[in-house]
Amino acid sequence: MKPLIAWRWYVALFILCAALGILIGGVGQMTIDNLKCRSTGYDNDHFLAYCRSQMYADYEHGALFYGLERSAIDSIRRAEVLFVGNSKAQAAFSSKAVRDYFNSINVRFFVMGFGYGDESAFSEAILKKWGVFPKILVINADPFFSEKLSPPAQDSLEGQPAFLWRLVLKSLFQQVHRTVCLVANSVCPESEPSIFRSARDGQWNWIGPYVAEKSVPIDRSAQTTITPEEFAMAQTLGEKFLDQIGLDRQCVVLTGTPNSLLDSTAIAVALAASLKTNSIFPPADGLSTLDGVHLNLASAERWSGQFVRAMTPILQKCVSASAPNHESMGGIATAN
Amino acid sequence: MLFNSAQFIFVFLPIVLSVFFLLGRLREQMLAVMWLVIASLVFYSSDDPYRLLPLILSSIAFNFFIGRMLLRSQNRVLLAIGVGGDLVLLGYFKYAGFLVETLNAVTGIALQNPNIDLPIGISFFTFTQIAFLVDAYRGEAREYEPFHYTLFVSFFPHLIAGPIYHHKEIMPQFQLQENFRLHISNFGLGLTWFALGLAKKMLFADVVAQYATPIFNAAAAGQALGLVDSWIGVCGFALQLYYDFSGYCDMAIGLALMIGVRLPLNFDSPYKALSLIDFWRRWHMTLSRFLRDYLYIPLGGNRKGPRRRYINLLVTMLLGGLWHGAAWTFVIWGAIHGFGLIVNHAWNKVAESYRLSLPNSVAWALTLAFVMVAWVPFRADSLSATFTIWKGMFGLHGLVPAESVIAAQVTTAIACIAGLLAVALFAPNSQQLLSYPRVIIAAFRQPIRFIPSPRWAMAAGIVFGIAVSFIITQRPTEFLYFRF
């Protein structure tokens, strides 16, 4: 090879390998930093939504906003019933009862709540970005309608190069993490709690990999509520949000997941009346939480099971596919 | 701006090189020089333009006009004014606070410390220009255009931390027409030098720093250190400093090479030295050359008998120490090396007379141990921290005291230090690894010879990429020599 050609090839190959090196180095560092994240929740359907390791932390906000989990985006776009809200909604609707119910009636659903207390601003951004038009929208309205953005939601919307780069690395890291921990389990300390999310229906797998099942009874005496100003703001933002979604208000279902901190039910009842939407409130007696805020697994199964069964008439009305009409609605308050 | 920042690698450098070679292709040589001047000034002053830009421009203007007058009439008074002016500037910014503190301590008066922030690179561009004035006085420099002179001083690859070069070895290169055209061989070789330097900084220096820094911080906080911690701290710092500064110099050489300019080498495997004299021929070679040519020899060098030679050596090393920083710790470091060199020269004389010689392994071990012990005041924040570490090194606080600074990381720290020391001692250095045109290197075995092969491109490219990935995911760290 002539020297000049050799140098041209050299520089070209150098640049190509440098790009590869950046990727290798980035994933390598991400792996070293986060190998301690729990790996027990991976399967073909679940991705690592969150790990308590500081160098990983949140992934799901960016992954869903930028479509890094392609199959999750497809599921959101195809979902006929979409659940939105904060982590309380995720805890409540991540249940076998919900999955079994929708599978039995062959209706696609997606639980699209977010941790870090994110509310309507981020959900709205995702719905707009991916052109999502569900037939039924279930909202954990306590009060949900807010302009507040959490730091990961803010980072996602800003899309700085450093954030995007880390997001890509987190995505690639999961392949390495899953393989390493499968092949050489002894090198994975499994010490950092993690939350896995289903790409098919958005449910969290977190009881176990993130937090142990506990039973903290709901204490209604300690519940507070929002201020009139906050309620008025939620009303205004709610009108705007629902107008933009363009869904028949009868196909919008408001609820409030039971907890000890906030009288979510009362807030949701008032908002549903004001926004003229449907609402469902399964009984909260005897329910328990993990931490006073999020329903524990047993209570989530019971409460969400009653919730989806109570949705049956709304499903019949709003989803073209036939829905069962034999479910009992006894003891469940519904309103419109 | 830092060489090891994404801003420099992905924005500054591609823009500067593209415009420079475009102007070169259009045969706009003067515009290309002006472009490099502007780029260098942006590079230098980007963090604090209102303070740094007037400072460097006034220093350049002052030295250019004094130098021009010296070229026309080699006037000793003019030289004194020029060098004096430079030293006043350096003294004000670098030594005023130190002087006030010392005066307060000695006399008991309470003068207010001016607390002046040290402008980055001032020691380097001042020394470069003092050398120019002396060369002009000696008739060893030629007259150049103001823009060429400004580029000589501010040329961004060398501006902040050297290498300290001579007017005569750089200026002609700025006038070579061929250097204004892109030569893919120079560019490729420069890229490889830069990659090697970046890897030294990001993958070696910054990694070993995480073991050394907590130990020196603990000493500064007054914590007694055990033998193991102290030696890990000192060895870690010795390697951090070497890879940090030689990495910077490799990057500087690589950047200059991309545009066809050859900078002088600054390191030649200093930890392989077999004596202290040998060490100073291998460590920060351009500073050693400067101190020799512009201080030691004018003081009389070895021409006035052994006693005067030893005094000259001590004075040179004391001032060399003080050049690194305005603190007594640097004076002590300089004094240790001054005395070490005196002993070394005296030993050479005795050994020659009695035909004595030390086995190489003993000479090497003694030299390395001496250099390590001397690094302590160079790094420590204070004299008390220096003595704390020295006591620890000699086991006066026990092997491992109850509160070990890096107890949980001892094994990884030792492994890291051993690995990096092995590279410093047994691997070929950058100039041995890569060919460097027009530089004659002393005879050495060249186990790995650089050729522009796919294997080299892949190895260098991947190493570069990994180092860059560290830059992207972490905040870039400053080079240690930036503070001098």
Of all helices (H) and strands (E), which one includes residue A57? Answer: strand A57-58
CA torsion B359-B360-B361-B364 (nearest 10°) is: 130
CA–CA distance, B41 with B53 (Å, rounded to integer): 7
Tell me which of B158, B284, B324, B337 is the catalytic residue. Answer: B324
Where does residue A202 fall: left (phi above 0), alpha (psi -120 to 50 degrees), or beta otherwise?
left
Rounded Cα distance between A19 and A2, Å, is: 26
Burial B26-47 (b: 16+ CB within 10 A, else e): eeebebbbebbbebbbebbbee
- pLDDT for residue B372: 96
For residue A198, the cross-strand partners are: A46
CA distance B1 to chain A (A): 18
CB-based contact, B185 to chain A, within 8 Å:
yes
SS3 A281: strand
Average pLDDT estimate for A222-249: 93
As to burial, measured by CB atoms within 10 angstroms (0-12 exposed, 13-18 middle, 19+ buried), residue A251 is buried
Do A7 and B460 lie within an 8 Å CB cutoff? no
pLDDT, position A260 = 93
pLDDT in tens, B27-60: 899 999 999 999 999 999 998 999 999 999 999 9
Residues of B in contact with A30 (CB under 8 A): 473
Rounded-to-integer distance, Cα B432 and Cα A303, Å? 73
Cα of first residue to Cα of last residue in chain A, in angstroms, is 80
To which H or E segment does residue A50 belong? strand A46-51
**pLDDT score of A333 more than 60:** no
CA distance B192 to chain A (A): 9
What is the Cα B287 distance to its own chain's centre?
A: 8
pLDDT tens figures, A197-230: 999 999 999 999 999 999 999 988 888 999 999 9
| Closest chain A residue to B469, measured at CA | A22
The answer to whether the beta carbons of residues A145 and A237 sit under 8 Å apart is: yes
- Asked if B473 lies within 8 A of A166 by C-beta distance, the reply is yes
Task: Say if the Cβ atoms of B464 and A165 lie within 8 Å.
Answer: no
ipTM of the complex: 0.84
Task: Tell me which residue of B242, B239, B276 sits closest to B368, measured CA to CA.
Answer: B276
Alpha-carbon span B288 to B316, nearest angstrom: 10
How confident is residue A4, by pLDDT bands cut at 50, 70 and 90? Answer: low
Asked if B383 reaches chain A (Cβ–Cβ under 8 Å), the answer is no
Query: Which of residues 193 through 212 in chain B touch A, CB cutoff 8 A?
Result: 195
Residue A320 has a pLDDT of 65
Give me the residue from A17, A26, A29 closest to B461, CB to CB. Answer: A17
Assigned token pair, A308: 């989806």
Angle, CA of B281, B284 and B287, to the nearest 5°: 95
pLDDT at residue B476 in the model: 58
Flag whether residue B452 sits within 8 Å of chain A, measured between CB atoms. Answer: yes
Among partner residues A24, A29, A30, which is closest to B462 by beta-carbon distance? A24
* Interface contact B453, partner A, CB < 8 A: yes
Residue A279 — very low, low, confident or very high, per pLDDT cuts 50/70/90?
very high
pLDDT at residue B86 in the model: 95
Q: Would the CB atoms of B473 and A10 count as touching at under 8 Å? A: no
Cβ pair A11:B191 closer than 8 A: yes
pLDDT category at A323 given cuts 50, 70, 90 is very low
Nearest to B191 among A14, A20, A21 (CB): A14
- Least CB-CB distance to A25: which of B453, B457, B470? B470
The SS3 call for residue A182 is: helix
Say what the pLDDT of residue B401 is: 64
**For a pLDDT cut of 70, what percent of chain A falls above it?**
93
8 Å CB contact between B241 and B220 = no
* Closest in B184, B454, B463 to A8, CB measured: B184
Helices A151-158, A120-129: crossing angle, 10 deg rounding: 30
B324 flagged as catalytic: yes
A7–B467 CB contact, under 8 Å: no
**Cross-chain Cβ contact A11/B468 below 8 Å:** no
pLDDT band at residue A334 using 50, 70 and 90 as cut-offs? very low
- The better pLDDT of the pair A175, B143 is held by A175
Q: Amino acid identity, residue A3?
A: P
Q: Is A160 on the interface with B (CB under 8 A)?
A: no
- Per CB-CB distance under 8 Å, the chain B contacts of A166 are 473
User: Is the sign of the CA dihedral A5, B450, B3, B27 positive or negative?
Assistant: negative
**pTM greater than 0.95:** no
Q: Which of residues 305-344 of B touch A (CB under 8 A)?
A: none
All residues of chain A having their beta carbon less than 8 Å from the beta carbon of residue B194 are none
A106 close contact with B: CB closer than 8 A: no
Q: How high is the pLDDT of residue B480?
A: 67
pLDDT higher for A34 or B398? A34
Best B10, B184, B187 residue to mutate vs chain A (most A CBs within 10 Å)? B184
Residues of A in contact with B472 (CB under 8 A): 22, 26, 162, 165
The ranges of chain B with pLDDT < 70 are 401-402, 435-449, 475-484
Q: Which residues contact B191 (CB under 8 A, 6 or more apart)?
A: A11, A14, B254, B258, B460, B464
* Confidence (pLDDT) at A220: 87
Confidence at residue B155, expressed as pLDDT on a 0 to 100 scale: 94
Any chain A CB within 8 A of the CB of B184? yes
pLDDT at A328: 38
Please tell me the distance in Å from B434's CA to the nearest CA on chain A: 14
Which one is predicted more confidently, A264 or B401?
A264
Which residue is listed with tokens 């090194």?
B393
Residue found under tokens 């890897």: B199
Q: pLDDT at residue A325 above 60?
A: no
